Amino acid sequence: MLRVEDLQTTSVEFSAGLIAKFDDVVSRYPEGKQKSALLPILHLVQAEFGWVSPNAMEKVADYLSIQHVEVFEVATFYTMYLLKPQGKYFLEVCRTGPCCLVGAEKIMDYIEQKLGVKEGEVTADGLFSWRGVECLAACGFGPVLQISPEYTFYENLTPEKVDKLVADLTAQAKN
Amino acid sequence: MGRKLLLEHINVPGINTFDVYRSKGGYAAVEKALKTLTPDEVVEEVKKSGLRGRGGAGFPTGMKWSFLAKPEGVARYLVCNADESEPGTFKDRYLMTYIPHLLIEGMIVASFALGAKTSYIYVRGEMMPQIRILERAIAEAKAKGFLGKNILGTGYDLELYVQPGGGAYICGEETALLESLEGKRGNPRIKPPFPAIAGLYGCPTVVNNVESIAAVVPIINEGGEEYAKIGIGRSTGTKLISAGGNVAKPGVYEIELGLPVEDFLYSPEYCGGIANGKRLKAVVAGGSSVPILPANLFLKTIAGDGRLMSYESLSEGGFTSGTMMGSGGFIAFDEDQCIVRNTWNFARFYHHESCGQCSPCREGTGWMEKVLHRLEYGHGKMSDMDLLVDVSKKIEGNTICPLGDAAAWPVASAIRHFRDEFEWHVTNGAEATTRNYGLAHYADPLPKPEPAPAAV
């Protein structure tokens, strides 16, 4: 949940390159309908900073010339926007019916044990966190998970695949 | 071997690129429509085809198009619904990943038919890889003169953009999708007015599913009447079915509507039977929202006729003994699956995804999840089943959008068909946490197929 005291705690600056990306998004809509750019822009912010901080939300509102609350209500409605920092690699595992028929619950248990953190917690090295999410529309290839910020997709998961995935990402982070 | 209209070239290497797609006859529908047909003639072909919306509701696409208001001087929009989130359904992801130009081509033809100058493809936010694929495909098509100003010298202008969602199932509902595209929370709108009168930015708008738009391509290429010859009765053409759960060969299959369900489930061309030699217990035929059926009722109607994969045959028997085609999300449950656990899982999904706008859905989905949770974990009461049915009835039909119905139907149908399994969870609470109820009387009545002869 968003708390009032969070509003003052984190400060972000948008680079010229990021603003140029915002401008490109805004150009897709008719004059005066720039609010349509809100969801894509929040994705760009999250890709840049790893989460959507209250301060970033205010800045986005100012950029789009809309009320701050119009951004807060959207950022808190859609589950993809992360309202607090996560691990560098955020594993989102599908927990809905069809994936559970083929073992998603066991995979979530395994990830919890492997990373040694509960759902929503970050590992001590800051590299990993994870959560269960609702259907990712890949039910024929379950269990599946995606890793933000790129939303790379991993299908037909097994404990061995999870081991390899974690090892690869750990190595990648060190380089 | 059924005809493939959408996925015919899916295995051609490089079919995701403009040049290969074009070499396989791609963009012929754009040339035909823009150069030889009027917009009204395109609408007429789609009407003749009998194409029904492939997103779940099954409303005739041509009729939806003909409702579009056309006031002078007001922009009109086509929005493609690629917010595929119905559990069990993954055909749109597949189509966009492997043959993105089919969707782009369909969007150009459909936009032309509707007189839209700007169109959007609203893709669920989690599908970032597919968003990148579509943006690349759009850039290619634009570079080749199939998008932008004065397409193919016909004087028709069209800009096409991809819009990411934010991870909300509710945005698959068309007015919630439009709210989201306007940068707001995905709360469905009260209808009327329908989007055909007042949609995106208050302008006349058509919202169509990915597969419906893609199907416009073969309809224009072959003609609506030819398309309508495929299929059975009012279920014309081909349909993509996402086969998942415990089938031996999960994946996306294009079938001619009217295929016997037995063939779809057991033939090696499609699902190849149930994985690991197990037996079929139940089927959700059209995505998690449609009623679940025990194997015997799924394979044969009450009258004893073999069911077909068609809108009419799947719904035969109404909700008493039938189900729905829905979005074509086909989920098979083998003998080891627990219906109570799955019903709880689906209830949790709808509780999580309820937008919170209407009290019956916001509160009711939460109560259903809680009651199902206690049943699954051995703390249920005998009165819980009636309580669940009661709650589901109070949600159904009492909400602005169909998410309420979609949450109510799976629970009500599971109790209707599997009440003894729920009761067993109450009477044998401790045992139910350690083992499943099993097949009981739901079993698929077919003999086990002979094992395939070893390859020589």
Q: Which of A81, A100, A150 sits opposite B166 (nearest CB)?
A: A81
- Where in chain B are the domains? 18-229, 241-334, 339-432
What ipTM was assigned to the predicted interfaces of this complex?
0.94
Residues B374-380, mean pLDDT to the nearest whole number: 94
**pLDDT higher than threshold 90 for residue B438:** no
DSSP symbols for B259-326? EEHHHHHHSTTTT-SBGGG--EEEEE-SSTTSPPEEHHHHHB-TTSPBPEESHHHHTTTHHHH----T
Residues B438-456, mean pLDDT to the nearest whole number: 58
CB B247 within 8 A of CB B37: no
Residues B319-347, mean pLDDT to the nearest whole number: 95
Chain mean position to CA B284: 12
**pLDDT higher than threshold 70 for residue B445:** no
Conformation bin of residue B190: beta by default, left when phi > 0, alpha when psi is -120 to 50:
beta
What is the dotted CATH code of the domain comprising A89-174? 3.40.30.10
Spatial separation of the C-alpha atoms in residues B229 and B60, rounded to whole Å: 16
A-chain CB neighbours of B337 within 8 Å are 101
| Structure tokens that stand for A133 in this block | 């999410």
pLDDT band at A1 (very low <50, low <70, confident <90, very high): very low
Residue A150's pLDDT is 86
CB contact under 8 A, B186 and A133: no
CB contact under 8 A, A79 and B166: yes
- Where in chain A are the domains? 4-77, 89-174
DSSP symbols for B113-150? HHT-SEEEEEE-TT-HHHHHHHHHHHHHHHHTTSSBSS
Contacts of B425 (CB under 8 A, 6+ apart): B340, B375, B376, B378, B380, B432, B437
Residue in B closest to A138 by C-alpha? B90
Pairing of strands B77-82, B118-123: parallel
CB contact under 8 A, A36 and B163: yes
What is the dotted CATH code of the domain comprising B339-432? 1.20.1440.230
**pLDDT higher than threshold 60 for residue B446:** no
**pLDDT higher than threshold 90 for residue B39:** yes
Residue B265's pLDDT is 96
Residues B22-39, mean pLDDT to the nearest whole number: 98
**pLDDT higher than threshold 80 for residue A91:** yes
- Mean pLDDT, chain A, rounded, equals 93
pLDDT band at B1 (very low <50, low <70, confident <90, very high): low
Lowest mean pLDDT among A96-100, B31-35, B88-92, B442-446: B442-446
Residues B384-397, mean pLDDT to the nearest whole number: 97
Residues B444-454, mean pLDDT to the nearest whole number: 54
Lowest mean pLDDT among B239-248, B420-429, B441-450: B441-450
| Structure tokens that stand for B199 in this block | 């949609």
CATH 1.10.10 given to domain A4-77: yes
Quote the pTM value: 0.94
pLDDT band at A129 (very low <50, low <70, confident <90, very high): very high
Order of all β-strands in the sheet with B159-164: B159-164, B118-123, B77-82, B205-209
- Domain B18-229, CATH number (from 1.10.1070.11, 3.40.50.11540, 3.40.50.720, 1.20.1260.10): 3.40.50.11540
Spatial separation of the C-alpha atoms in residues B269 and B257, rounded to whole Å: 15
pLDDT tens for each residue of B340-364: 999 999 999 999 999 999 999 999 9
Of chain B, the percentage scoring pLDDT greater than 90 comes to 92
Give the minimum alpha-carbon distance from A40 to chain B in angstroms, rounded to a whole number: 6
Residues B390-416, mean pLDDT to the nearest whole number: 96
Candidates A21, A96, A155, partner chain B, best to mutate (most B CBs within 10 A): A96
Q: Which of B93, B168, B345 sits opposite A78 (nearest CB)?
A: B168
CATH 3.10.20.600 given to domain B241-334: yes
**pLDDT higher than threshold 90 for residue B454:** no
Residue B442's pLDDT is 62
- Mean pLDDT, chain B, rounded, equals 94
**pLDDT higher than threshold 60 for residue A3:** no
Residue in B closest to A93 by C-alpha? B126
pLDDT tens for each residue of B282-313: 999 999 999 999 999 999 998 989 999 999 99
**pLDDT higher than threshold 60 for residue A4:** no
Candidates B83, B123, B270, B345, partner chain A, best to mutate (most A CBs within 10 A): B345
CB contact under 8 A, A78 and B345: no
Residue A148's pLDDT is 84
Helix (H, G, I), strand (E, B) or coil at B205: strand
Residue B452's pLDDT is 56
Going by C-alpha positions, the residue among B415, B10, B49, B83 that lies closest to residue B227 is B49
Residue A5's pLDDT is 55
Q: Which of B89, B161, B331 sits opposite A28 (nearest CB)?
A: B161
CB contact under 8 A, B333 and A101: yes
